Amino acid sequence: MASKIVGGHFVYMEKNMKKTRYITDAAMISAVVAVLLLINNATGQLLVVNFSFLLPVPVTLYGLKYDYKKAFLPAFAIICISLIINWLIGLLYVLPAMLVSVLYTLIINKFQYKIGIKVGCMFIGSLLVNVLTTVIFSKALFGYTIIEDMTNLANNTVDLLTKVGLVNDFFNNSIRAILISIIPAIIAINSLMEAILTYLFISILAQRILKINLGANLLTLNIRVPSIVTFVLMPLALASLFFFNQIVEYDKFGFVQILVTVGLNILVVLCLAYLLEAIVIISFYATKTRKTYLLLLAFLFIIFCPFVLMVIGFIDSVFDLRRKIIFK
């Protein structure tokens, strides 16, 4: 009888210790993020604006250690603290980031060994946050969106080139139309890059701190644009560009502008996909042949001549180049 009482007492103490531990960890994470938000507030919001993709990392790691339900505790605390420190940053950046961090915890735990699903969900989360911050919230709070910002950038670029005297009216209108048209593609590409960086940070820190292996090697994604996508979308994108010379004033939005806008966005996204595809091929080949200098060469091509990598990716999409060269 006494042994049962003692055993029950130890079980009760262990449960209390676990409860105390996750509450203590939540408080510690909230305090660390609060300090960073204070530093961000003192530096003119440079940290949050430039590194917003890191905001979901602390709560996601907390959720991986415990579970996604307990992750609501530090997420709620951080949201409240951020609204007190700077309500605008809290509303625009912290609130969406904390909500998606709980979602990331659930997705990572459920699909631990499926990198494609995890990065895809993070892309959707990042895309949602970017749309909220650059379109919906900014329109409601300030009366302008990324569209107005991009329009101003296009006009400033055109004015600068006009002063140089190297452009004509058609070229000016073309630059303005291109910069405004590719806004959706810019948001999507930025969201994808943020998703990749967020996953890398989470996976590396989870392995170092929590000893949880999530698979940090994104090359295992085996990125490849299906040939049917290339055969269907690329001709449509190129065909739409034949109507590009009919754009005179982008303010007069009509069918031609819609056609060119869709074509330009498809073209930009496909070019990025081909670029990533080429990097994966080169990485596979460099690993197989132990020619690591090829990775450095690919990095240089990204900076100085990305078009070459896009061509390689396009060829792989059409002719399945990796099967013939790498997997033979």
Q: Which amino acid is at 204?
A: I
Judged by average pLDDT, the poorest of 6-15, 189-198, 228-237, 296-305 is 6-15
* Long-range contacts from 209-214, C-beta under 8 angstroms, 24+ separation: 209/61, 210/61, 210/64, 210/65, 212/64, 214/108, 214/112, 214/118
Looking at residue 169, its pLDDT comes to 67
Task: Give the span between the Cα atoms of 238 and 264, in whole angstroms.
Answer: 8
Looking at residue 222, its pLDDT comes to 66
| DSSP symbol at 252 | S
The answer for residues whose C-beta is within 8 angstroms of residue 60's C-beta and 6 or more apart is: 71, 101, 104, 105, 108, 202
Q: Taking residues 186-197, report their average pLDDT.
A: 85
CA 222 to mean position of chain CA atoms: 18
Is residue 121 predicted with pLDDT exceeding 80? yes
pLDDT classification of 301: cutoffs 50, 70, 90: confident
Is residue 257 predicted with pLDDT exceeding 50? yes
Q: Which two tokens stand for residue 169?
A: 């009216």
Extents of the domains making up the chain: 1-143+179-218, 222-328
Looking at residue 10, its pLDDT comes to 45
Q: Which amino acid is at 293?
A: Y
CA distances for 178 relative to 147, 162, 192, 203, 240, angstroms: 12, 17, 21, 37, 13
For the entire predicted model, the pTM comes to: 0.75
Q: Which two tokens stand for residue 11?
A: 């079980």
Is residue 32 predicted with pLDDT exceeding 60? yes
Helix (H) or strand (E) holding 34: helix 2-42
Residue in the structure block whose two tokens are 């058609």: 170
Residue-averaged pLDDT of the chain? 79
- Tell me the pLDDT tens digit for each residue of 147-176: 777 778 777 777 777 776 656 666 777 777
Percent of the chain predicted with pLDDT > 70: 82
Judged by average pLDDT, the poorest of 82-86, 104-108, 216-220, 291-295 is 216-220
Is residue 252 predicted with pLDDT exceeding 60? no
Task: Give the span between the Cα atoms of 185 and 149, in whole angstroms.
Answer: 15
CA distances for 241 relative to 18, 147, 300, 326, 328, angstroms: 62, 21, 30, 35, 38
Judged by average pLDDT, the poorest of 1-10, 22-31, 48-57, 94-103 is 1-10
Per the CB < 8 A criterion, the answer to whether 56 and 98 are in contact is yes
- Tell me the pLDDT tens digit for each residue of 10-29: 444 455 556 678 788 888 99
Given its phi and psi angles, is residue 252 left (phi above 0), alpha (psi -120 to 50 degrees) or beta?
A: beta
